[in-house]
Amino acid sequence: MKIAVVILNWNGKSLLERFLPSVLAHSDGADIYLVDNASTDDSIDFVNQNYPSIGIVQNTSNGGFAKGYNDGLKTIDADVYCLLNSDVEVTPNWLGPVIDTFDALPKTAIIQPKILDLKRKDHFEYAGAAGGFIDKLGYPFCRGRIFQALEKDEGQYDDVSEVFWATGACMFIRSSVFWSLGGFDEDYFAHQEEVDLCWRAKNQGHKVYYVGKSQVYHLGGSTLDNMNPKKTFLNFRNSLYSITKNLPRRKAFSIIFLRLLLDGVAALRFIVQLKFSHCIAILRAHFSFYTTFRKMYRKREKANFLIKYYSTTSIVWSHFVHHVNNFNILVKD
């Protein structure tokens, strides 16, 4: 199995200095590439001078996460792409369990490892934790992370388990599946494009797995931290995009209506917290969604839509009303 570890970079020399050594040290048998999104710093010179074995693909513009990978991967030959954030520290034998799972479960299209917090190495990290799920209304959450609540890693998720979505911070995907899906949806720019990609893959009958014996440490927030208003805008808008594209029509319209109401509640909550920029970000997300709705609706998959796509009815109700912070005590549907 030919694996390409592909790191997307934009003005990230300091991250490359910090995190490339672990990737080079622990990725025997894999080809390593840097896809650069038209950086204006000296990232490329740094890699050329210090890591000449790394292949470099230079994009002509900064098209964000989605377009950046779509453009860069076109020139990379591999059976499996590992899309790896530039702020991830990998560990010895991180590739072995993933390769074993692809071999043992041939229907597996996408895999993510255990994602731990680089700043608190005994806790799961926000972006992916132990594999992603969504609730009935399309809200994403993870084993090990529900909204901002992060679980301590005590071996509770050291398994191989089917999940709904895998994080873009460290995602392994068969190249044939990636291109059969048309890659990432570039209208997302960044954030939740991996949820959409996995949802489309599952609509086509592919499997997404989490492999707990492979683990990496993610710094997180290197581009946008979790409370940046731009991230709020992208998350709220892109989540609505995914519902529009990936649910049966009647269900999609009813859920979009409920989501718009709940987004209004979230906006009021931000006002109470005096986070006015986040309230404005939600309003901007809605206006952006309204203006692009017809375009997103035309992208709906031709494949059969999953009827049972969710693992709990409402993660919002469970977390904010019943104060559930642990995946294992969620009421599963």
Q: Are residue 143 and residue 13 in the same domain, yes or no?
A: yes
Q: Are residue 16 and residue 106 in the same domain, yes or no?
A: yes
DSSP string, 204-269: TT-EEEEEEEEEEEE---SSS-TT-HHHHHHHHHHHHHHHHHHS-HHHHHHHHHHHHHHHHHHHHH
In a domain, 251, yes or no: yes
On whether the CB atoms of residues 301 and 253 are closer than 8 A, the answer is no
Q: Are residue 171 and residue 318 in the same domain, yes or no?
A: no
In a domain, 271, yes or no: yes
Distance in angstroms (rounded) separating the CA atoms of residues 133 and 241: 17
Total Cβ atoms within 10 A of residue 30: 19
Q: How confident is the model at residue 226 (pLDDT cuts 50, 70, 90)?
A: low
Q: How confident is the model at residue 308 (pLDDT cuts 50, 70, 90)?
A: confident
In a domain, 307, yes or no: yes
Q: Are residue 117 and residue 252 in the same domain, yes or no?
A: no
In a domain, 214, yes or no: yes
Q: Are residue 245 and residue 213 in the same domain, yes or no?
A: no
Tens-place pLDDT, residues 279-301: 999 999 999 999 999 999 999 87
Q: How confident is the model at residue 38 (pLDDT cuts 50, 70, 90)?
A: very high
- Which of 190, 218, 246 finishes a domain? 218
Q: Are residue 25 and residue 173 in the same domain, yes or no?
A: yes
In a domain, 46, yes or no: yes
In a domain, 146, yes or no: yes
User: How far, CA to CA in Å, does 55 sit from each of 27, 49, 63, 286?
Assistant: 14, 12, 20, 40
pTM to 2 decimals? 0.95
Q: What contacts 69, CB < 8 A, 6 or more positions away?
A: 6, 8, 35, 83, 183, 184
pLDDT > 90 fraction of the chain, expressed in percent and rounded: 92
Distance in angstroms (rounded) separating the CA atoms of residues 294 and 307: 23
On whether the CB atoms of residues 209 and 104 are closer than 8 A, the answer is no
In a domain, 293, yes or no: yes
The amino acid present at 240, given as its one-letter code, is L
Range of the domain at 11: 3-218
The CATH number covering residue 184 comes to 3.90.550.10
For the cut 60, the answer to whether the pLDDT of residue 222 exceeds it is no
Domain tally for the chain?
2
- Across the range 300-313, mean pLDDT stands at 85
pLDDT of residue 223: 58
Q: Are residue 181 and residue 274 in the same domain, yes or no?
A: no
pLDDT of residue 239: 97
Tally of helices (H runs) and strands (E runs) in the chain: 10, 13
Q: Are residue 132 and residue 256 in the same domain, yes or no?
A: no
On whether the CB atoms of residues 130 and 210 are closer than 8 A, the answer is yes
Q: Are residue 120 and residue 263 in the same domain, yes or no?
A: no
Q: How confident is the model at residue 208 (pLDDT cuts 50, 70, 90)?
A: very high
Q: Are residue 309 and residue 233 in the same domain, yes or no?
A: yes
pLDDT of residue 225: 61
Distance in angstroms (rounded) separating the CA atoms of residues 286 and 299: 19
Q: Are residue 287 and residue 316 in the same domain, yes or no?
A: yes
- Which of 218, 251, 267 finishes a domain? 218
Q: Are residue 284 and residue 178 in the same domain, yes or no?
A: no
pLDDT of residue 167: 98
- Which of 218, 247, 277 finishes a domain? 218
In a domain, 224, yes or no: no
Q: What contacts 81, CB < 8 A, 6 or more positions away?
A: 3, 4, 6, 73, 172, 173, 175, 178
Distance in angstroms (rounded) separating the CA atoms of residues 215 and 233: 30
- Across the range 82-92, mean pLDDT stands at 98
